[in-house]
Amino acid sequence: MMKRQMHLGLFILGTGSHVAGWRYPGAFDSFQDFAAIQEIGRSAERGKFDLIFMGDNLYADPAAHPSYTLRLEPMTMLSALAMTTSHIGLGATASTTYGDPWSTARAFASLDHISNGRAAWNAVTTSNAASGANFGRAHPDHSLRYEIAEEFVSTVKGLWDCWADDAIVKDRETGLYIDPAKVRTLDHDGPYFKVKGPLNIGRSPQGQPVVLQAGGSAPGQRLAARTADVVFSVVQDFDEAKAQYTSFKSLLPGFGRGADAVTMLPGVMPVVGRTDREAFDKLKTLQSFVSSTNALAMLSDRLGTDMSAYDLDGPVPDLGENDAYHAFAKVMLAKARRENMTLRDLYNLTAAARGHWVLAGSAETVADTLQYWFENSAADGFNVMPPYFPAGLDDFVDLVVPILQERGLFRADYEGTTLRDHLGLDRPERP
Ligand SMILES: Cc1cc2nc3c(=O)[nH]c(=O)nc-3n(C[C@H](O)[C@H](O)[C@H](O)COP(=O)(O)O)c2cc1C
């Protein structure tokens, strides 16, 4: 039997995941510079990553992380990136609260055609309330957002299945272009969406583009267990990652799915040095660039609460349950309580990796840790979030990936052509 292998996603923010990564000497300083994005895409493909992922939000706050505030529209960017890469999966966020199923299904089917089977959709419910003002709508509450999302994702998948794989016959002899028996309408008539279908694009190379999900709340986990192929999670330590992994995988049989049907990738910001010491020094340099303004904006975003009025050197206040960012708030507040942190400690941590796990060390240390998590039921792989580009990614690709490959934990080369091939997922049959 083939040894189980890790999956690696690359989370791209042009200025790096660290809130001040762009200040690191030699770092890219823009998420609007396509030449830089192309270089990142090439490095990720050299490292044989499964996929590249572009998040998205629908508002701009000049105090926020620079790559949250100024960014290219992800589908436009990924369509361009499809032309300068050949194997790597291309994932983007699209909102189930502010989008519509028809346009979303069409856009991702198009990207799947353009990229020959490499598209992935991160279905997010959009937690930041500021988005509503850009669409002339009140921001729905958390449970309503997930209710809408359940119907939205099912409708998108239904649209992707309207055309049989062999519906487009293009028979020059008879003049038959489309076999009407192999195309159906969807006729979806639900509480939130009414969509007749079919889509005006044929079934795409992957059958259905890959679905990603990153909600950490109970409704988020249920949506992921029912509909997703890949789940991104937020963790701060091994025990937490293992608990989340076990709990999420235990939901799958309830939806008629096996544990391998969904790939779980915790987020990690690796800071890699030639020695542990060098890595810690890099992290220290990065942290020296943090200012209270950018760090507090990020912390407030993650906790869903404006933190600017609190005493930075006081204890982290008890915020109770929070509707805006269940996953991040829960994980970060738990860590703050465990480690008796001040608000300043917590904002320093959040500034580093936006609430995700920071792993600093030599390439050996980083590879050992990832291997331990992977082999001890805490992860199926990782969503890698370099603190800055290009060197933060190149260190991982050139120093850590070869160790994982040598140990047989990661592919030496791509074996298939589609993202489903990389993830070891079957191409879905059309029901
Ligand atoms: C790796 C990762 C990527 C995410 N990307 C986005 C994004 O691009 N846009 C967005 O609005 N939310 C994004 N989120 C937030 C979640 O998808 C989710 O909306 C949020 O955690 C609130 O849902 P919850 O209450 O179920 O946790 C991301 C979360 C994670 C862990």
Question: What is the arithmetic mean of pLDDT over 10-36?
Answer: 97
- Cα(123) to ligand 1 centroid in Å equals 9
Question: What is the arithmetic mean of pLDDT over 11-21?
Answer: 96
Q: Is 217 in the pocket of ligand 1 (CB under 6 A)?
A: yes
> Residue 325: its pLDDT value, please?
66
CATH superfamily for 7-423 is: Luciferase-like domain (3.20.20.30)
Q: Is 270 in the pocket of ligand 1 (CB under 6 A)?
A: no
Q: Is 305 in the pocket of ligand 1 (CB under 6 A)?
A: no
Contacts of 159 (CB under 8 A, 6+ apart): 101, 102, 105, 106, 186, 195, 197, 198, 199
- Which atom of ligand 1 lies nearest, measured to the CA of 216? 27
> Residue 323: its pLDDT value, please?
66
Minimal-distance CA residue to ligand 1 atom 10 = 126
> Residue 197: its pLDDT value, please?
97
Binned at pLDDT 50, 70 and 90, residue 302 comes out as confident
Q: Is 220 in the pocket of ligand 1 (CB under 6 A)?
A: yes
List, for residues 206-256, the tens digit of each pLDDT value: 999 999 999 889 999 999 999 999 999 999 999 999 999 999 999 999 999
List, for residues 393-429, the tens digit of each pLDDT value: 999 999 999 999 999 999 999 999 999 999 999 999 9
Residue 131, pLDDT above cutoff 90: yes
Q: Is 215 in the pocket of ligand 1 (CB under 6 A)?
A: yes
- Which atom of ligand 1 lies nearest, measured to the CA of 356? 31
Q: 318 versus 145: which is more confidently predicted?
A: 145
- Cα(77) to ligand 1 centroid in Å equals 20
List, for residues 308-365, the tens digit of each pLDDT value: 889 989 989 888 776 666 788 888 898 898 999 999 989 888 888 988 999 999 999 9
> Residue 275: its pLDDT value, please?
96
> Residue 329: its pLDDT value, please?
87
Question: Which burial class, exposed, middle or buried, applies to 38 when counting CB atoms under 10 A from its CB (0-12, 13-18, 19+)?
Answer: middle
Spatial CA neighbour of 96 closest among 206, 161, 232, 192? 192
Q: Is 99 in the pocket of ligand 1 (CB under 6 A)?
A: no
The residues pairing with 273 across neighbouring beta strands, listed in sequence order, are 362
Which helix (DSSP H) or strand (DSSP E) does residue 403 occupy? helix 401-406
> Residue 1: its pLDDT value, please?
58
Write the DSSP string, 121-180. Answer: EEEE----GGGGGGTTSPPPPHHHHHHHHHHHHHHHHHHHTSB-TT-EEEETTTTEEE-G
Given ligand 1 and candidates 59, 93, 354, which is best to mutate, with the most ligand atoms within 8 Å of its CB? Answer: 93
Separation between Cα atoms, residue 223 and residue 214, nearest integer Å: 10
Contacts of 86 (CB under 8 A, 6+ apart): 45
- C-beta separation of 404 from 371 below 8 A: yes
Minimal-distance CA residue to ligand 1 atom 30 = 214
> Residue 317: its pLDDT value, please?
87
Residue 184, pLDDT above cutoff 90: yes
List, for residues 86-125, the tens digit of each pLDDT value: 999 999 999 999 999 999 999 999 999 999 999 999 999 9
Binned at pLDDT 50, 70 and 90, residue 296 comes out as confident
SS3 106: helix
Minimal-distance CA residue to ligand 1 atom 11 = 126
Residue whose pair of structure tokens reads 């300083």 in the numeric block: 29
Two structure tokens written together for 18: 């660290």
How large a percentage of the chain has pLDDT more than 70? 99
Query: What is the phi/psi pair of residue 234, to 5°?
Result: -110, 120
> Residue 215: its pLDDT value, please?
87
Two structure tokens written together for 212: 């990603």
Residue 162, pLDDT above cutoff 90: yes
Q: Is 221 in the pocket of ligand 1 (CB under 6 A)?
A: no
Q: Is 56 in the pocket of ligand 1 (CB under 6 A)?
A: yes
List, for residues 38-55, the tens digit of each pLDDT value: 999 999 999 999 999 999
> Residue 256: its pLDDT value, please?
97
Question: What is the arithmetic mean of pLDDT over 253-270?
Answer: 97
Helices (H), 263-325: 276-288, 292-303
- Which atom of ligand 1 lies nearest, measured to the CA of 214? 17
> Residue 372: its pLDDT value, please?
98
- Cα(218) to ligand 1 centroid in Å equals 13
Binned at pLDDT 50, 70 and 90, residue 267 comes out as very high
- Give pTM, 2 decimals: 0.96
Write the DSSP string, 50-71. Answer: SEEEE---S---TTS-HHHHS-
Q: Is 234 in the pocket of ligand 1 (CB under 6 A)?
A: yes
Separation between Cα atoms, residue 243 and residue 205, nearest integer Å: 35
Minimal-distance CA residue to ligand 1 atom 14 = 214
Q: Where are the domains of the chain?
A: 7-423
Two structure tokens written together for 175: 């003049």
List, for residues 47-78, the tens digit of each pLDDT value: 999 999 999 999 999 988 999 999 999 999 99
- C-beta separation of 242 from 376 below 8 A: yes
Separation between Cα atoms, residue 4 and residue 66, nearest integer Å: 38
